[in-house]
Amino acid sequence: MNKSSIFVKRVSKDDPEAGLVAEWLAKDELHQSLGLTMEDVFAYGPIDLISDEQGPLIAVRTHLAMRAAMQFRPESRLRIARIGSEVVEWMKREAKDWNCSEVVIRPGGKAQKFAEKLGFREFIGKYLGV
């Protein structure tokens, strides 16, 4: 088996390496077009800086999210619509109890528009089940 070729260092916004990440961000057209700033990079505290033997390569910000899967009672559209905002508040409380910063859902059918109305935004997610 190959020996590990990457190294990880925890970096805070006041560390010298933060300047390097700022340079990368400034050259990243996609992230610039999204309006990402160094404030965003360190929004959740220190980040991980991944290096290989030639130096730093990747900066990673991590935080916790709660994925919620729901099974609603069928043919109860009115009841569900009435409690929509209360459900969101309930989810927020649960997620915060778990130290999560986001709730992720995968609604199907008409629930997609309902979720948007409740404040969820579209997310082009890629995931790896571990």
23-82 binders of other proteins (CB under 8 A): 24-25, 27-28, 30-31, 41, 43, 50, 52, 54, 56-76, 79-80
For other proteins (CB under 8 A), the number of binding residues is 76
Shortest distance in whole angstroms from residue 112 CB to other proteins: 6
Counting contacts by CB under 8 A, is residue 85 touching other proteins?
Answer: no
Which of 16, 19, 35, 108 forms a contact with other proteins (CB under 8 A)? 108
Shortest distance in whole angstroms from residue 38 CB to other proteins: 10
Instruction: With beta carbons less than 8 A apart as the criterion, state whether 51 and 11 touch.
Output: no
Of the chain, the end-to-end C-alpha distance in Å amounts to 21
Counting contacts by CB under 8 A, is residue 109 touching other proteins?
Answer: yes
* Residue where the block lists tokens 């508040």: 89
Dihedral pair phi/psi, residue 52, rounded to 5°: -105, -165
Among residues 60, 61, 64, 44, which one has the least CA distance to residue 104? 64
